[in-house]
Structure 1
Amino acid sequence: MIGFSCYLSEPADEQQTAYLKQMQQAGFTGVFTSLQLPEDDPKTLRQRLNHLITSCHQLGLAVVADISLASLKRLGIAPRDCSGIEALQLDGVRIDDGIDMTTVAALSHTMGVALNASTLSAETIDQLANAKANLRHIEAWHNFYPRPETGLDPCWFQQKNHWLHTLGFKTMAFIPGDAQQRGPLFAGLPTLEPHRGLLPLAAYLDLKRLATDHVYIGDPQLSPRSIAAFQAYTSDQVLLIQTQTADDRLYHLTWHNRPDVAQQVVRLAEARLEHIFAAPEPHHTDERPRGSITLDNTRYGRYAGELQITRCDLPADPKVNVIGHVAPVALPLLDHVGPHQALRFKQ
């Protein structure tokens, strides 16, 4: 599952409805929200939640809300009132402070339940088993970290995910958005610290490589550029690569990396197979920093016309023309170009 966040601090309006529809069309299937907004009037919060759930369900989007003992009290729901929680019509709840494992076990028989992945322990799992929880309905969700420098370490995160998977739990983590970011710090809402400020699709692919089952956007909004990138990837497994080049021929095809993956460059198979580029004369045989788009010239003999993207910094070569560059923001995507990977260049 890939999801996004929609918070109840803003009133439901046409803009919110349009964004929900846009994200659903881009391949997103879940929505995360939070009931822990102490500054909001409980009646207003309930109305906004009802509107969000109705709108999401009409689009086939599942809704999971962050709940705690304090947030339930503010909504007039007793701590162990499972029927009151179920009446919210949520598809799942993420459990925060103050809710005991007996209540979690009871809820697990009627809805999805997410526990804090970072603090989930063997003792907690024993408590759930003793309370006869339906463990198939319980998942392990990591937090997001608003304060810079406090996000999780990727190595520790991967080890934790492995341990949770051995116990049968699916995992979830957050990546930051690149448009509207959530206050009060407005520094992104990633689970992993290296993802702070990273292109959202690159962060998503990182989490998938670290064996994360579900990924949600933590911040309230993605940019149109990122929405288009997710849509291309979820529907066609195509990476959209933002580039700077004067050669318009790059923009008219879907390219594929060769099946034999090179260490230092991405070799785009179609260029030589289809003879798209006539063997060019030497021109702009400059240094090739990471992300350089290059074309082998006539001095390379039978390789003339080969199109590549450099994965690392390479020196100038009189046999290789530099015809463009991957935009700096898109460079992390190069780490995810595997065998047969499809990609399209975008200005």
Structure 2
Amino acid sequence: MQQLGISIYPNHSTAEKDKQYIHVANQYGFTRVFTCLLSVEQDNILASFQETIHYAKQLGMEVICDINPRVFKDLGISYDDLTFFKNLGADGIRLDLGFTGNEESMMTFNPHGLFIEVNMSNSTKYIDNILSFQPNRNKLIGCHNFYPHRYSGLSYDFFIECSEKFKKYGLRTAAFVSSQAATFGPWPIVEGLPTLEMHRGLPIDVQAKHLFATRLIDDVIIGNAYASEEELKRLSQINKAKLTFNLELVDSVSDLEKKILFDEPHFYRGDVSDYMIRSTQSRVKYRGEAFPPHNTTDIKRGDVVIESELYEQYAGELQIALKDMTNSGRTNVVARIREEEIFLIDSLKPWDKFAFSEWDG
């Protein structure tokens, strides 16, 4: 199951505000909460943690608590007794800094059934080492870091390399996206809180679509707080299983072309072209229908086109342009992918299914 999550930081907010945010997110289908336990010096902070966590639990949400190594030490907690976190109400703990592998393995057998979440943002053999100690894989999960400092986030290639290490073992994975409306996180520096640096300035739904499209990330969590209700709504509308592009239609698009765009299933044909992604079933289904030429301007990367009847047996075929191309005068440019999403076409692989929705932004 793929989940959407939010983050709360009781050290920097109030229980009432956090609960209100949790409530709204839960209404939009969010089922996971990430939080950081950064200080145990004030009883009121712990009380706020408990109040907020228990509220999230009442709504059926899963709560994972990130543990600062200093706090672990201050609490006098050993890896073989995690009762404190059970009493706090958490479903699991995230270890930003791990142990030797054997300790993590032992922790996955804790009697409270807590998840042990480990840091995915490294290129070492850390996860291989943990697995060599035969952990309870049902209680071992992974989550990437987030990065508040601009330009410090992970590169895409490194992110893929790290994520593949976890996914090859079938472990549940998570990564962070960044709200453009949020104003705080766990640290004083707040320049967004994404995992991937390339996501920092992108709309939140585009970030999430990209993470899901990698097929390496199960859970997508908003790193900073508080995301706007509009952002929560956008994320709730994402098809996690099938990459769905938002389209801006041209004025002259026909009803039949709209039907092909939005009502027909699409898949990336397996004989790959450098210039286009072809979805060809519409030309079969609508053979003999009228596809008069109407908008035959030159084609730009990110345009969605449907061949006109001047292309004879190709009439009705849908394509996504991967490169700029000269239009022969026989191809109708019917829509354009939302500019911020155009890079997502590179995530599609042969035989992938995809869809379109009309952009209302």
TM interval, shorter chain, is: 0.7 to 0.9
CA separation in 1, counterparts of 2:123 and 2:346?
Answer: 31
- Corresponding position: 1:323 with 2:334: yes
User: 1:336 Cα shift?
Assistant: 4.2
Residue by residue, what CA displacement relative to the aligned partner does 1:162-194 show, whole Å, maximum 9, x if unpaired? 444566754432232343254544432222223
CA separation in 2, counterparts of 1:98 and 1:336?
Answer: 32
- Corresponding position: 1:64 with 2:29: no
Q: Which of 5, 8, 23 is the equivalent residue of 1:6? A: 8
After superposition, the Cα gap between the structure-2 partners of 1:305 and 1:116, relative to the gap in structure 1 and judged at 3 Å, is closer
Partner of 1:344: 357
Partner of 1:280: 292
Partner of 1:220: 225
Q: Which of 224, 231, 242 is the equivalent residue of 2:236? A: 231
Do 1:232 and 1:240's aligned partners in 2 also have CA atoms closer than 8 Å? no
Partner of 1:301: 312
Partner of 2:76: 78
User: 1:280 Cα shift?
Assistant: 2.4
Partner of 2:197: 193
CA separation in 2, counterparts of 1:268 and 1:224?
Answer: 38
Query: Which blocks of at least 5 consecutive residues in structure 2 are unaligned?
Result: none
Provide TM-score, normalisation by structure 2. 0.75
Amino acid at match of 1:63: V
Counterpart of 1:220 in 2: which secondary structure? coil
Amino acid at match of 1:190: P
CA separation in 1, counterparts of 2:338 and 2:316?
Answer: 23
Q: Which of 4, 20, 23 is the equivalent residue of 2:22? A: 20
Do 1:229 and 1:240's aligned partners in 2 also have CA atoms closer than 8 Å? no
Do 1:238 and 1:344's aligned partners in 2 also have CA atoms closer than 8 Å? no
User: 1:112 Cα shift?
Assistant: 1.0
Q: Which of 167, 174, 185 is the equivalent residue of 2:176? A: 174
After superposition, the Cα gap between the structure-2 partners of 1:235 and 1:170, relative to the gap in structure 1 and judged at 3 Å, is closer
- Corresponding position: 1:146 with 2:148: yes
After superposition, the Cα gap between the structure-2 partners of 1:107 and 1:245, relative to the gap in structure 1 and judged at 3 Å, is same
After superposition, the Cα gap between the structure-2 partners of 1:102 and 1:24, relative to the gap in structure 1 and judged at 3 Å, is same
CA separation in 2, counterparts of 1:126 and 1:236?
Answer: 31
Partner of 2:279: 267
CA separation in 2, counterparts of 1:34 and 1:154?
Answer: 25
User: 1:32 Cα shift?
Assistant: 0.6
After superposition, the Cα gap between the structure-2 partners of 1:266 and 1:217, relative to the gap in structure 1 and judged at 3 Å, is farther
Counterpart of 2:54 in 1: which secondary structure? helix
Provide TM-score, normalisation by structure 1. 0.77
Amino acid at match of 1:279: F
Q: Which of 155, 159, 172 is the equivalent residue of 1:157? A: 159
Do 1:68 and 1:98's aligned partners in 2 also have CA atoms closer than 8 Å? no
Do 1:116 and 1:142's aligned partners in 2 also have CA atoms closer than 8 Å? yes
Partner of 1:90: 90
CA separation in 1, counterparts of 2:320 and 2:123?
Answer: 43
After superposition, the Cα gap between the structure-2 partners of 1:33 and 1:276, relative to the gap in structure 1 and judged at 3 Å, is farther
User: 1:62 Cα shift?
Assistant: 0.2
CA separation in 2, counterparts of 1:98 and 1:156?
Answer: 20
CA separation in 2, counterparts of 1:126 and 1:297?
Answer: 58
Counterpart of 2:15 in 1: which secondary structure? coil
Query: Which blocks of at least 5 consecutive residues in structure 1 are unaligned?
Result: none
User: 1:333 Cα shift?
Assistant: 3.5
CA separation in 2, counterparts of 1:225 and 1:276?
Answer: 43
User: 1:284 Cα shift?
Assistant: 3.5
After superposition, the Cα gap between the structure-2 partners of 1:92 and 1:298, relative to the gap in structure 1 and judged at 3 Å, is same
Report how many aligned residue pairs link the two structures. 340
User: 1:114 Cα shift?
Assistant: 1.6
Amino acid at match of 1:216: I
User: 1:241 Cα shift?
Assistant: 0.9
CA separation in 1, counterparts of 2:198 and 2:335?
Answer: 27
Residue by residue, what CA displacement relative to the aligned partner does 1:6-58 show, whole Å, maximum 9, x if unpaired? 23222233x654543443354432111112269xx833422332232122212
| Overall identity of the aligned pairs, in % | 24
After superposition, the Cα gap between the structure-2 partners of 1:289 and 1:185, relative to the gap in structure 1 and judged at 3 Å, is farther
Amino acid at match of 1:82: L
Q: Which of 238, 263, 268 is the equivalent residue of 1:254? A: 263
Amino acid at match of 2:269: D
